[in-house]
Amino acid sequence: MRFSSLARGLLLLVVVATAPLPCAGKGEEGESHLKLDLSPLLEVGTVFALTPDALEKQFSSEGFSENPFINWKLGRSYATFPMQPYSNVSVELSVLQGSVPLSHAVVDYLEGRPTMIHMTSKFSNAAALARLRAGLGERLGCSALPAEKLRVGSKWEKEVTSEVWMSDKGVARLKAAANGAFFGLSIGPPHTAPEALTAPADSGDAGQGRPDFFVRLDPLISVPGLWSLTPEAFENAMKTPGPGFKESPFYKWTSAAKDGALLTRHVFSNTNTDLLLFDEAVNAEEANIEFRRGKVGKVTLTLLTRGNSGEVTAEQFDAVFKATGRALGAMLKVQPTRTVPAGRNLIKEQGYLWTSPHTLALMEFNEDAPKGHLEFLRVKFMPASGRAELLNLAGIGDNATTRSRSSLTSNVKRDLASGDVCLTGVPMIDQGQKGYCVSASCARIFNYMGVKCDQDEIAELVKNDAQRGTRPSDMYAALRKIDQRYNMRVKVVKLPRGYGLEGMRETDVERAWKGDLAKLLQENINAGVPLLWAVQLPASAGGVSAKGVVQDRQSGGGHMRLLIGFNPKTGDVLFTDSWGAGHELKRMTVGAAEAMTQAVFTMQPTL
């Protein structure tokens, strides 16, 4: 039997309360059990013309002081249809005249008009899903494109497949479990990109507390196509999971120029993302993607580190190590060669190199990792044209030597209009959610000076605790162990009066007490040398960038940042934090900087 559009659009509303509640609202005695059929939201010909007031009128009920069905969020940015809008009101949601149960529905609005419809169900079954598919095909006048596994999504969507309907009436994307037990449906107006149809983060996820997500990295790193990936294409592939997120929980840009992206498990402190690799045999910790001239030029996959994974047994290391080796061999269709660095690498490491006509892959790990003393296990990908660079990074090529002191002055940039004197070429390394401010800051300086390393290698050297960071005294002791080995000299140039660091001579402490921050900046920045700056952050802190105020990621406690410039006109100091995009260049007055200073170090070539 076929129903007319009018019949399909009828609202089915049944109040099954024991007695009418003329003003049944939040907090009043008695309970109301309602049924609501949301089939009008499937009518693509009319639903995108519903204003907020029209939506309220479409789904309303007499006898209630407030609409018992709709909760508005962010003003009237989107409307939600919850199952328990009030403590004494429950709603049974469905579509197609009650034949397909729902657990949640959302209507997104922009400038007073719907832009997307979302529906989810945790109470579905195969028969209900078949009815929904048929209903979508009828309303959109087309068949669905073949289903495929999702590349990104909420954790509950991990075993979900996706299929899409596209016609001149609208676009729909249905994400459903194979057995039909749950689904998420998003509908947009004609010409909507299917990848833009993502369900809200709070719909369909039965978990509580930290929102969980996943990213399948295999399609992303598929070679040789990887080397044609642009920042725009990457961004489109990593769409945010609905209106609950202004920023992606999967990744963040490491610079405002979008020339680097960091996918990590905890983009925010209250989110968790599984980074799935090699047919889900490995859950990576991070994936760092570097773009060069508008396309991917290098990818670093961090598989295991002490800072993120804690103590890893020899058996756990072996499992990830072997799964990675098998996957790289299958991907590149070549056998690896073993690599043993001959250069002055920061710590002893080993690795394997795969060389294919289009791609190089280098797997590296610290020497004692197979014995259960893990520091890191990672894989670096580069196009075949980057062989010399990759070998140098691995310490098995013609390693570049530490830059000479005189060559650093070429990095000093003077802006006559603003008065800024600032260093260029200081690379950004994002410490993520780890307490690696010291390790990341030191790695940035080492790379700036021509010594190739990363923050995990520095963390091993300074014995950095990923949760607590490193005290200035610990840092000073660690840097003294390596300064001669790498033709670098570490010196404490400023300390608060009455404060010293373990291992310093009394005369050096007294000299550091007399250190003047403004003079130290002028002397070192003019010479092309950044300063390591240990500070005590206030409970609420912020630096000001060229685009305005940028909130510090850390509130209160000890922290390490780099001083990279000064302005003699304004008296500002210029600094950078190892927190990624938006933290490349910040500033504050020299007085405010003096007040939070715990120690200032120089680390520069002896040549």
Query: pLDDT tens-digit profile of 385-418?
Result: 988 888 766 665 544 455 666 688 899 999 999 9
- The residue among 365, 391, 521, 522 whose CA lies nearest residue 457 is 365
Start-end of H helices in 29-125: 52-58
| DSSP letters for 214-225 | EEE-TTTT-TTG
C-alpha distances (whole Å) from 328 to each of 221, 349, 497 are 11, 19, 56
**Cβ pair 227, 291 in contact under 8 A:** no
Long-range CB pairs of 539-547 (<8 Å, 24+ gap) are 543/575, 543/577, 543/583, 543/586, 543/587, 543/588, 544/586, 544/587, 544/588, 545/582, 545/583, 545/584, 545/585, 545/586, 545/587, 546/585, 547/256, 547/582
- 332 φ/ψ angles, rounded to the nearest 5 degrees: -100, -10
Cα–Cα dist 587/542, whole Å: 9
Q: Which residues of the chain fall short of a pLDDT of 70?
A: 1-30, 199-210, 241-244, 341-347, 392-406, 452, 460-470, 475, 478-479, 481-487, 539-556, 606-607
- Token code pair at residue 176: 């459903």
Q: How many CA atoms lie within 13 A of 59 on its CB side?
A: 27
pLDDT of residue 454: 74
- Token code pair at residue 482: 């390596």
- The residue among 353, 197, 217 whose CA lies nearest residue 296 is 217
pLDDT of residue 404: 62
Long-range CB pairs of 307-314 (<8 Å, 24+ gap) are 307/434, 307/436, 307/456, 307/459, 307/464, 307/466, 308/265, 308/434, 308/466, 309/285, 309/374, 311/374, 312/369, 312/372, 312/374, 313/372, 314/370, 314/371, 314/372
Cα radius of gyration (the chain): 29
pLDDT of residue 3: 30
How many of the other CB atoms lie within 10 Å of CB of 145?
13
C-alpha distances (whole Å) from 265 to each of 262, 420, 467 are 10, 37, 15
Which amino acid belongs to residue 511? R
**Cβ pair 163, 146 in contact under 8 A:** yes
pLDDT of residue 502: 82
pLDDT of residue 486: 61
**Cβ pair 532, 442 in contact under 8 A:** yes
Q: Is 211 helix (H, G, I), strand (E, B) or coil?
A: coil
Instruction: Give CA angle at 286 (281, 290), nearest 5°.
Output: 120
pLDDT of residue 239: 80
How many of the other CB atoms lie within 10 Å of CB of 535?
21
pLDDT of residue 4: 32
Start-end of H helices in 2-115: 5-9, 52-58
**Cβ pair 299, 373 in contact under 8 A:** no
pLDDT of residue 344: 52
How many of the other CB atoms lie within 10 Å of CB of 85?
22
- The residue among 234, 225, 235, 230 whose CA lies nearest residue 293 is 230
Q: Where in the chain is the domain with CATH 3.90.70.10?
A: 406-605
54-73: pLDDT as tens digits = 999 999 888 788 889 999 99
Cα–Cα dist 265/273, whole Å: 5
Which amino acid belongs to residue 198? T
Q: Which fold has domain 406-605?
A: Cathepsin B; Chain A (3.90.70)
**Cβ pair 405, 605 in contact under 8 A:** yes
Distance of CA 527 to the CA centre of its chain: 35
Cα–Cα dist 142/134, whole Å: 10
Cα–Cα dist 380/394, whole Å: 10
Cα–Cα dist 269/517, whole Å: 34
Strand ranges in 218-259 using DSSP code E only, listed in sequence order: 251-253
First to last CA, the chain: 88
C-alpha distances (whole Å) from 510 to each of 491, 495, 499 are 13, 9, 9
